[in-house]
Amino acid sequence: GQQVMQIPQYQHVQEGEDFTTYCNSSTTLSNIQWYKQRPGGHPVFLIQLVKSGEVKKQKRLTFQFGEAKKNSSLHITATQTTDVGTYFCAGPGQGAQKLVFGQGTRLTINP
């Protein structure tokens, strides 16, 4: 079935370093969403990308959707301790209501 693969599974950085997580799908996606889950919290919607090659920015976060609409990335510039958490990508699966989540990338930061 539809799978969304996310790498890396874990990433530990020093505060101030950059961070990137990648999301890959075996099939073309109509759109991709990104969520953040703080430790002990619940997933919170960050953004949705729809267009091929789309790039969106939210302050230090940059989101990209690949030209073939099969991959996406989230890049954080100059990480801060508030960026700690697990970042999930999610794309349409089989069925109208099914959103398939990647395994997530857990980001930890050394202050």
Closer Cβ to other proteins, 29 or 109, answer by number: 29
Report the alpha-carbon distance of residue 52 to residue 60 in Å, rounded: 22
To other proteins, the closest distance from the beta carbon of 74 in angstroms equals 16
Report long-range pairs for 13-17 (Cβ below 8 Å, ≥24 apart).
Answer: 13/79, 13/107, 13/108, 13/109, 13/110, 14/109, 14/110, 15/79, 15/80, 15/81, 15/109, 15/110, 15/111, 16/78, 16/79, 17/78, 17/79
Closer Cβ to other proteins, 44 or 78, answer by number: 44
To other proteins, the closest distance from the beta carbon of 4 in angstroms equals 8
Closer Cβ to other proteins, 3 or 110, answer by number: 3
To other proteins, the closest distance from the beta carbon of 33 in angstroms equals 7
Closer Cβ to other proteins, 50 or 55, answer by number: 50
To other proteins, the closest distance from the beta carbon of 60 in angstroms equals 21
**For the chain, counts of helices (H) and of strands (E):** 0, 11
Binding positions for other proteins, rule: CB under 8 A:
30-31, 33, 35, 41-45, 48, 50, 88, 90-93, 95-104
